Amino acid sequence: MSKFKKKKSGGQPAISTASLPDIVFMLLFFFMVTTVMREVDLKVEVKRPEATEVNKLERKSLVSYIYIGSPKSKFQDRFGTADRIQLNDAFATTNDIIQFVEAEREQKDPAEVPLMTFSIKADKEAEMGIVTDVKQELRKINALKINYSTYKTDKIVD
Amino acid sequence: MGRRSAPEINAGSMADIAFLLLIFFLVTTTMDVDTGLTRRLPPMPEEEIEPDDVKVKQRNIFQVLVNMNNDLLVEGEPMLVTELREKAKEFIIGDPTFQDETFPEGKMTEIPGLGNLKVSKQIVSLQNDRGTAYEMYIKVQNELVGAYNDVRDEFAIERFGKTMKQLEDASEKSSKAKQQLKAVKKFYPQRISEAEPKNIGE
Protein backbone atom coordinates (compact mmCIF):
# COMPACT_ATOMS: atom_id res chain seq x y z
CA MET A 1 0.00 0.00 0.00
CA SER A 2 2.74 2.31 0.80
CA LYS A 3 3.73 2.24 -2.81
CA PHE A 4 0.48 3.90 -3.91
CA LYS A 5 0.58 6.43 -1.16
CA LYS A 6 3.94 7.52 -2.22
CA LYS A 7 2.84 8.18 -5.74
CA LYS A 8 -0.15 10.21 -4.65
CA SER A 9 1.83 12.42 -2.43
CA GLY A 10 4.28 13.10 -5.23
CA GLY A 11 1.47 14.44 -7.47
CA GLN A 12 1.61 14.89 -11.20
CA PRO A 13 3.72 17.77 -12.38
CA ALA A 14 1.54 20.64 -13.67
CA ILE A 15 1.42 20.92 -17.43
CA SER A 16 3.49 23.84 -18.50
CA THR A 17 1.44 26.64 -20.00
CA ALA A 18 4.47 28.52 -21.13
CA SER A 19 3.87 27.60 -24.76
CA LEU A 20 0.23 28.64 -24.67
CA PRO A 21 0.99 32.18 -25.87
CA ASP A 22 2.90 30.70 -28.78
CA ILE A 23 -0.04 28.59 -29.84
CA VAL A 24 -2.44 31.46 -29.49
CA PHE A 25 -0.13 33.75 -31.44
CA MET A 26 0.03 31.19 -34.19
CA LEU A 27 -3.75 31.14 -34.45
CA LEU A 28 -3.83 34.90 -34.23
CA PHE A 29 -1.45 35.32 -37.14
CA PHE A 30 -3.45 32.84 -39.18
CA PHE A 31 -6.62 34.84 -38.70
CA MET A 32 -4.86 38.15 -39.22
CA VAL A 33 -3.52 37.00 -42.54
CA THR A 34 -6.71 35.39 -43.81
CA THR A 35 -9.09 38.05 -42.63
CA VAL A 36 -10.59 40.39 -45.17
CA MET A 37 -12.12 43.46 -43.68
CA ARG A 38 -15.36 44.35 -45.34
CA GLU A 39 -14.60 47.39 -47.43
CA VAL A 40 -18.09 48.61 -48.08
CA ASP A 41 -21.17 49.09 -46.00
CA LEU A 42 -23.98 47.39 -47.81
CA LYS A 43 -26.85 49.77 -48.29
CA VAL A 44 -28.90 47.41 -50.37
CA GLU A 45 -30.25 44.04 -49.40
CA VAL A 46 -28.41 41.34 -51.32
CA LYS A 47 -29.49 37.74 -51.03
CA ARG A 48 -27.50 35.96 -53.67
CA PRO A 49 -29.13 33.29 -55.81
CA GLU A 50 -27.78 29.77 -56.01
CA ALA A 51 -26.17 27.96 -58.91
CA THR A 52 -24.35 24.73 -59.56
CA GLU A 53 -21.86 25.61 -62.30
CA VAL A 54 -19.89 28.15 -60.32
CA ASN A 55 -16.28 29.23 -60.61
CA LYS A 56 -14.17 30.66 -57.88
CA LEU A 57 -13.19 34.28 -58.28
CA GLU A 58 -9.43 34.42 -58.53
CA ARG A 59 -7.30 37.49 -57.85
CA LYS A 60 -9.60 39.41 -55.56
CA SER A 61 -7.61 42.59 -56.10
CA LEU A 62 -8.77 42.66 -59.70
CA VAL A 63 -12.44 42.29 -58.88
CA SER A 64 -14.79 45.23 -58.51
CA TYR A 65 -18.27 44.81 -57.17
CA ILE A 66 -21.57 46.22 -58.29
CA TYR A 67 -24.41 45.68 -55.85
CA ILE A 68 -28.01 45.64 -56.93
CA GLY A 69 -30.99 45.25 -54.66
CA SER A 70 -33.71 46.92 -52.70
CA PRO A 71 -32.46 49.55 -50.19
CA LYS A 72 -32.20 48.36 -46.59
CA SER A 73 -35.06 49.33 -44.32
CA LYS A 74 -33.27 52.32 -42.76
CA PHE A 75 -32.81 53.89 -46.18
CA GLN A 76 -36.27 53.13 -47.45
CA ASP A 77 -37.88 56.38 -46.34
CA ARG A 78 -35.43 58.28 -48.49
CA PHE A 79 -34.84 55.93 -51.37
CA GLY A 80 -37.99 53.84 -51.58
CA THR A 81 -38.11 50.10 -52.10
CA ALA A 82 -37.40 49.92 -55.82
CA ASP A 83 -34.15 48.16 -56.78
CA ARG A 84 -31.10 50.37 -56.62
CA ILE A 85 -27.45 50.12 -57.63
CA GLN A 86 -24.73 50.59 -55.07
CA LEU A 87 -21.20 51.43 -56.12
CA ASN A 88 -18.57 51.69 -53.41
CA ASP A 89 -20.37 53.28 -50.50
CA ALA A 90 -23.15 55.15 -52.20
CA PHE A 91 -26.31 54.63 -54.14
CA ALA A 92 -25.84 55.20 -57.82
CA THR A 93 -27.70 55.22 -61.08
CA THR A 94 -26.85 53.47 -64.30
CA ASN A 95 -25.23 56.70 -65.53
CA ASP A 96 -22.56 56.47 -62.83
CA ILE A 97 -21.29 53.09 -63.95
CA ILE A 98 -19.05 54.33 -66.73
CA GLN A 99 -17.36 56.71 -64.31
CA PHE A 100 -17.05 53.96 -61.72
CA VAL A 101 -15.38 51.61 -64.20
CA GLU A 102 -12.94 54.32 -65.26
CA ALA A 103 -12.07 55.11 -61.65
CA GLU A 104 -11.52 51.44 -60.90
CA ARG A 105 -9.33 51.05 -63.96
CA GLU A 106 -7.20 54.00 -63.01
CA GLN A 107 -6.29 52.40 -59.70
CA LYS A 108 -4.90 49.35 -61.36
CA ASP A 109 -1.78 48.59 -63.28
CA PRO A 110 -2.47 49.28 -66.97
CA ALA A 111 -1.22 45.80 -67.83
CA GLU A 112 -3.83 44.25 -65.57
CA VAL A 113 -6.80 46.23 -66.80
CA PRO A 114 -7.87 43.58 -69.33
CA LEU A 115 -7.95 41.01 -66.54
CA MET A 116 -10.35 42.99 -64.39
CA THR A 117 -13.62 41.34 -63.52
CA PHE A 118 -16.80 43.11 -62.54
CA SER A 119 -18.81 41.04 -60.15
CA ILE A 120 -22.52 41.72 -60.13
CA LYS A 121 -23.92 41.01 -56.70
CA ALA A 122 -27.61 41.23 -57.24
CA ASP A 123 -30.47 40.21 -55.02
CA LYS A 124 -32.42 37.23 -56.22
CA GLU A 125 -35.64 39.20 -56.08
CA ALA A 126 -34.21 41.97 -58.23
CA GLU A 127 -35.72 42.50 -61.64
CA MET A 128 -33.68 41.82 -64.75
CA GLY A 129 -34.39 45.30 -66.13
CA ILE A 130 -31.86 47.01 -63.90
CA VAL A 131 -29.34 44.18 -64.30
CA THR A 132 -29.65 44.44 -68.07
CA ASP A 133 -29.09 48.20 -67.87
CA VAL A 134 -25.92 47.63 -65.87
CA LYS A 135 -24.72 45.07 -68.39
CA GLN A 136 -25.38 47.45 -71.27
CA GLU A 137 -23.35 50.17 -69.54
CA LEU A 138 -20.51 47.72 -68.97
CA ARG A 139 -20.60 46.78 -72.63
CA LYS A 140 -20.46 50.44 -73.60
CA ILE A 141 -17.21 50.93 -71.73
CA ASN A 142 -15.86 47.60 -72.88
CA ALA A 143 -15.76 45.95 -69.46
CA LEU A 144 -16.77 42.56 -70.74
CA LYS A 145 -15.52 40.20 -68.10
CA ILE A 146 -18.30 39.84 -65.60
CA ASN A 147 -19.31 37.46 -62.88
CA TYR A 148 -22.77 36.88 -61.48
CA SER A 149 -22.17 36.31 -57.82
CA THR A 150 -23.96 33.21 -56.58
CA TYR A 151 -23.73 30.64 -53.85
CA LYS A 152 -22.82 27.11 -54.75
CA THR A 153 -25.51 24.50 -54.45
CA ASP A 154 -25.84 20.90 -55.54
CA LYS A 155 -29.18 21.04 -57.21
CA ILE A 156 -31.38 23.58 -58.88
CA VAL A 157 -35.04 23.49 -57.92
CA ASP A 158 -38.01 25.03 -59.68
CA MET B 1 28.40 49.79 -9.55
CA GLY B 2 25.58 48.59 -7.41
CA ARG B 3 23.34 48.00 -10.40
CA ARG B 4 20.35 46.02 -9.43
CA SER B 5 19.05 43.79 -12.10
CA ALA B 6 15.62 44.97 -13.18
CA PRO B 7 12.84 42.70 -12.05
CA GLU B 8 11.68 40.43 -14.84
CA ILE B 9 8.40 41.47 -16.42
CA ASN B 10 5.72 38.93 -15.86
CA ALA B 11 4.78 37.47 -19.24
CA GLY B 12 1.90 35.51 -17.84
CA SER B 13 -0.71 37.89 -19.25
CA MET B 14 0.75 37.67 -22.74
CA ALA B 15 -1.62 34.81 -23.46
CA ASP B 16 -4.59 36.90 -22.39
CA ILE B 17 -3.64 39.74 -24.70
CA ALA B 18 -3.12 37.34 -27.56
CA PHE B 19 -6.47 35.72 -26.85
CA LEU B 20 -8.16 39.10 -26.93
CA LEU B 21 -6.71 39.87 -30.34
CA LEU B 22 -7.47 36.39 -31.56
CA ILE B 23 -11.11 36.70 -30.62
CA PHE B 24 -11.33 40.06 -32.32
CA PHE B 25 -10.03 38.63 -35.58
CA LEU B 26 -12.17 35.54 -35.23
CA VAL B 27 -15.26 37.69 -35.02
CA THR B 28 -14.41 40.11 -37.81
CA THR B 29 -13.17 37.55 -40.26
CA THR B 30 -15.36 36.59 -43.17
CA MET B 31 -14.35 33.36 -44.73
CA ASP B 32 -16.76 33.40 -47.64
CA VAL B 33 -15.13 32.51 -50.90
CA ASP B 34 -16.50 34.51 -53.75
CA THR B 35 -18.13 32.21 -56.22
CA GLY B 36 -20.23 32.93 -59.22
CA LEU B 37 -20.98 32.36 -62.87
CA THR B 38 -18.28 33.93 -64.96
CA ARG B 39 -19.52 35.17 -68.30
CA ARG B 40 -18.19 37.29 -71.10
CA LEU B 41 -20.37 40.03 -72.50
CA PRO B 42 -20.41 40.55 -76.24
CA PRO B 43 -18.80 43.80 -77.34
CA MET B 44 -21.11 46.60 -78.37
CA PRO B 45 -21.91 46.29 -82.06
CA GLU B 46 -20.32 48.83 -84.36
CA GLU B 47 -22.91 51.35 -85.37
CA GLU B 48 -22.55 50.89 -89.11
CA ILE B 49 -23.35 47.22 -89.01
CA GLU B 50 -27.03 46.50 -89.16
CA PRO B 51 -27.90 43.73 -86.74
CA ASP B 52 -30.13 42.18 -89.38
CA ASP B 53 -27.11 41.33 -91.53
CA VAL B 54 -26.51 38.14 -89.67
CA LYS B 55 -29.15 35.60 -90.51
CA VAL B 56 -29.05 32.31 -88.72
CA LYS B 57 -31.15 29.39 -89.83
CA GLN B 58 -33.98 28.46 -87.53
CA ARG B 59 -32.71 24.92 -87.07
CA ASN B 60 -29.42 26.17 -85.69
CA ILE B 61 -31.06 28.18 -82.93
CA PHE B 62 -32.18 26.90 -79.58
CA GLN B 63 -34.56 29.54 -78.39
CA VAL B 64 -35.11 30.16 -74.70
CA LEU B 65 -37.56 32.83 -73.61
CA VAL B 66 -38.31 33.91 -70.06
CA ASN B 67 -41.25 36.20 -69.47
CA MET B 68 -42.03 38.61 -66.63
CA ASN B 69 -43.87 35.88 -64.69
CA ASN B 70 -40.72 33.75 -64.77
CA ASP B 71 -42.25 31.23 -67.17
CA LEU B 72 -39.92 29.46 -69.51
CA LEU B 73 -40.60 28.90 -73.18
CA VAL B 74 -38.10 26.62 -74.89
CA GLU B 75 -38.36 26.13 -78.65
CA GLY B 76 -42.01 27.15 -78.41
CA GLU B 77 -42.87 24.79 -75.57
CA PRO B 78 -43.46 25.76 -71.95
CA MET B 79 -40.99 24.01 -69.72
CA LEU B 80 -39.67 23.81 -66.18
CA VAL B 81 -36.12 24.91 -65.38
CA THR B 82 -35.24 21.41 -64.25
CA GLU B 83 -36.04 20.03 -67.69
CA LEU B 84 -34.04 22.64 -69.55
CA ARG B 85 -30.64 21.02 -69.16
CA GLU B 86 -31.61 17.73 -70.83
CA LYS B 87 -33.31 19.54 -73.67
CA ALA B 88 -30.33 21.83 -74.21
CA LYS B 89 -27.92 18.90 -74.16
CA GLU B 90 -29.98 17.11 -76.76
CA PHE B 91 -29.77 20.18 -78.96
CA ILE B 92 -26.06 20.82 -78.47
CA ILE B 93 -25.12 17.23 -79.28
CA GLY B 94 -27.61 17.20 -82.14
CA ASP B 95 -27.60 14.55 -84.80
CA PRO B 96 -24.15 13.03 -85.36
CA THR B 97 -24.86 12.47 -89.06
CA PHE B 98 -26.28 15.99 -89.49
CA GLN B 99 -29.15 14.61 -91.59
CA ASP B 100 -31.98 15.36 -89.18
CA GLU B 101 -33.64 18.65 -90.14
CA THR B 102 -34.69 19.45 -86.59
CA PHE B 103 -31.12 19.60 -85.32
CA PRO B 104 -28.40 22.08 -86.29
CA GLU B 105 -26.29 21.81 -89.43
CA GLY B 106 -22.69 20.74 -89.39
CA LYS B 107 -19.67 22.62 -90.62
CA MET B 108 -16.28 21.14 -91.47
CA THR B 109 -13.79 22.49 -88.99
CA GLU B 110 -10.22 21.59 -88.37
CA ILE B 111 -9.70 20.58 -84.79
CA PRO B 112 -6.12 20.32 -83.59
CA GLY B 113 -5.34 16.74 -82.67
CA LEU B 114 -8.56 15.31 -84.04
CA GLY B 115 -8.40 16.33 -87.70
CA ASN B 116 -11.32 17.58 -89.74
CA LEU B 117 -14.67 17.05 -88.10
CA LYS B 118 -18.15 18.26 -88.70
CA VAL B 119 -18.99 20.65 -85.91
CA SER B 120 -22.54 21.58 -85.10
CA LYS B 121 -23.50 25.17 -85.86
CA GLN B 122 -25.56 25.39 -82.70
CA ILE B 123 -26.44 28.67 -81.05
CA VAL B 124 -28.40 29.03 -77.85
CA SER B 125 -30.43 32.19 -77.81
CA LEU B 126 -31.63 33.51 -74.47
CA GLN B 127 -34.10 36.30 -74.19
CA ASN B 128 -35.62 37.64 -71.03
CA ASP B 129 -38.06 40.32 -70.06
CA ARG B 130 -37.18 43.34 -67.97
CA GLY B 131 -39.51 42.03 -65.29
CA THR B 132 -37.90 38.60 -65.02
CA ALA B 133 -36.54 37.87 -61.55
CA TYR B 134 -32.77 37.72 -61.31
CA GLU B 135 -32.97 34.37 -59.58
CA MET B 136 -34.80 32.86 -62.54
CA TYR B 137 -32.31 34.36 -64.97
CA ILE B 138 -29.40 32.87 -63.03
CA LYS B 139 -31.11 29.47 -62.97
CA VAL B 140 -31.56 29.50 -66.73
CA GLN B 141 -28.00 30.70 -67.29
CA ASN B 142 -26.78 28.03 -64.93
CA GLU B 143 -28.64 25.26 -66.72
CA LEU B 144 -27.39 26.39 -70.12
CA VAL B 145 -23.79 26.60 -68.95
CA GLY B 146 -24.30 23.27 -67.21
CA ALA B 147 -25.58 21.68 -70.40
CA TYR B 148 -22.42 22.76 -72.23
CA ASN B 149 -20.24 21.52 -69.40
CA ASP B 150 -21.99 18.14 -69.37
CA VAL B 151 -21.73 17.71 -73.12
CA ARG B 152 -18.05 18.66 -73.09
CA ASP B 153 -17.42 16.31 -70.22
CA GLU B 154 -19.01 13.41 -72.07
CA PHE B 155 -17.00 14.18 -75.19
CA ALA B 156 -13.75 14.51 -73.24
CA ILE B 157 -14.30 11.16 -71.54
CA GLU B 158 -15.19 9.46 -74.82
CA ARG B 159 -12.20 10.82 -76.72
CA PHE B 160 -9.51 11.25 -74.12
CA GLY B 161 -10.73 9.26 -71.15
CA LYS B 162 -10.57 12.27 -68.88
CA THR B 163 -13.12 14.72 -67.55
CA MET B 164 -12.81 18.39 -68.33
CA LYS B 165 -11.69 19.05 -64.79
CA GLN B 166 -8.89 16.51 -65.07
CA LEU B 167 -7.83 18.01 -68.40
CA GLU B 168 -7.84 21.48 -66.93
CA ASP B 169 -5.71 20.39 -64.00
CA ALA B 170 -3.29 18.60 -66.30
CA SER B 171 -3.13 21.42 -68.83
CA GLU B 172 -0.89 23.49 -66.61
CA LYS B 173 1.84 20.92 -66.95
CA SER B 174 1.31 19.05 -70.18
CA SER B 175 0.82 20.63 -73.56
CA LYS B 176 -1.04 17.54 -74.72
CA ALA B 177 -3.78 18.06 -72.20
CA LYS B 178 -3.90 21.70 -73.17
CA GLN B 179 -4.43 20.76 -76.78
CA GLN B 180 -7.10 18.23 -75.84
CA LEU B 181 -8.85 20.86 -73.79
CA LYS B 182 -8.79 23.21 -76.74
CA ALA B 183 -10.10 20.49 -79.02
CA VAL B 184 -13.10 19.82 -76.79
CA LYS B 185 -13.87 23.50 -76.55
CA LYS B 186 -13.59 23.84 -80.30
CA PHE B 187 -15.87 20.89 -80.93
CA TYR B 188 -18.53 22.22 -78.58
CA PRO B 189 -18.07 25.99 -78.53
CA GLN B 190 -20.16 27.70 -75.91
CA ARG B 191 -22.48 29.95 -77.84
CA ILE B 192 -25.02 31.53 -75.56
CA SER B 193 -26.35 34.60 -77.24
CA GLU B 194 -28.35 37.07 -75.26
CA ALA B 195 -30.67 39.15 -77.34
CA GLU B 196 -30.78 42.88 -76.87
CA PRO B 197 -33.20 43.60 -74.03
CA LYS B 198 -36.80 43.77 -74.99
CA ASN B 199 -40.18 43.84 -73.33
CA ILE B 200 -41.92 40.59 -74.03
CA GLY B 201 -45.16 39.34 -72.64
CA GLU B 202 -46.67 42.70 -71.80
Question: Does A25 fall in a domain?
Answer: no
Residue contact B29–A31, C-beta within 8 A: yes
Proportion of chain B above pLDDT 70, given as a percent: 89
Nearest to A142 by CA among A111, A104, A80, A98: A98
Question: Does A32 fall in a domain?
Answer: no
Question: Does B105 fall in a domain?
Answer: yes
Question: Does B113 fall in a domain?
Answer: yes
Question: Does B173 fall in a domain?
Answer: yes
Instruction: Say if A61 is an interface residue toward chain B (CB within 8 Å).
Output: no
Q: What is the mean pLDDT of chain B?
A: 80
Span A27-52, average pLDDT = 81
Q: pLDDT tens for residues B31-57? A: 666 788 888 888 877 765 555 556 677
Residues A149, B194: Cα–Cα separation, whole Å: 19
Question: Does A92 fall in a domain?
Answer: yes
Pairing of strands A117-122, B77-79: unpaired
Q: What is the mean pLDDT of chain A?
A: 83
Span A46-63, average pLDDT = 84
Instruction: Say if A152 is an interface residue toward chain B (CB within 8 Å).
Output: yes
Q: pLDDT tens for residues B130-182? A: 888 888 888 888 888 888 888 888 888 888 888 888 888 888 888 888 888 88
DSSP 8-state secondary structure symbol assigned to residue B29? -
Question: Does A18 fall in a domain?
Answer: no
Indicate which CATH number applies to the domain containing A49: 3.30.420.270
Q: Which of B19, B21, B39 is opposite residue A148, by nearest beta carbon? A: B39
Question: Does B144 fall in a domain?
Answer: yes
Question: Does A53 fall in a domain?
Answer: yes
Please check the confidence at residue A2 and state whether its pLDDT lies above 60: no
Exposure letters A8-46 (e unless 16+ CB within 10 A, then b): eeeeeeeeeeeebbeebbeebeebeeeeeeeeeeebbbb
Question: Does A66 fall in a domain?
Answer: yes
Please check the confidence at residue A150 and state whether its pLDDT lies above 80: yes
Number of compact structural domains in chain A: 1
Span A24-32, average pLDDT = 84
Q: Which residue has the higher pLDDT, A10 or A99?
A: A99
Closest residue in A to B67 (Cα) is A128
Q: What's this model's pTM, rounded to 2 decimal places?
A: 0.76
Number of compact structural domains in chain B: 1
Tell me what pLDDT residue B47 has: 67
**Greatest pairwise CA separation for chain A in angstroms:** 92
Please check the confidence at residue B202 and state whether its pLDDT lies above 50: no
Question: Does B170 fall in a domain?
Answer: yes
What DSSP string runs through chain A? Answer: -HHHHHHHHH-PPPPP-TTHHHHHHHHHHHHHHH-----S---EE----EESS-EEPP-GGGEEEEEEEEEPGGGHHHH-SS-EEEETTEEE-GGGHHHHHHHHHHHS-GGGGGG-EEEEEE-TTSBHHHHHHHHHHHHHTT--EEEEE-EE-S----
Question: Does B18 fall in a domain?
Answer: no
Dihedral angle at the C-alpha atoms of B31, A55, B36, B92, nearest 10 degrees? -160
C-beta separation of A115 from A147 below 8 A? no
Residue contact A123–B134, C-beta within 8 A: yes
Span A16-36, average pLDDT = 81
Residue contact A128–B132, C-beta within 8 A: yes
Q: Which domain holds residue B137?
A: 55-194
Question: Does A26 fall in a domain?
Answer: no
**Residues whose CB falls within 8 Å of the CB of residue B89, separated by 6 or more in sequence, listed in order:** B147, B150, B151
Instruction: Say if B69 is an interface residue toward chain A (CB within 8 Å).
Output: no
Q: What distance in Å separates residue A36's CA from the closest CA in chain B?
A: 6
Residue contact B81–A38, C-beta within 8 A: no
Question: Does A158 fall in a domain?
Answer: no
Least confident among A33-37, A47-51, A99-103, B91-95: A33-37
Q: What distance in Å separates residue A29's CA from the closest CA in chain B?
A: 8
C-alpha of A51 from chain center: 17
Q: Which domain holds residue A113?
A: 44-152
Q: What distance in Å separates residue A3's CA from the closest CA in chain B?
A: 37
Proportion of chain A above pLDDT 70, given as a percent: 91
Question: Does B23 fall in a domain?
Answer: no
C-beta separation of A89 from A100 below 8 A? no
Between residues 117 and 146 of chain A, which touch chain B (CB distance below 8 Å)?
117, 119, 122-129, 131-132, 135-136, 138-140, 142-146
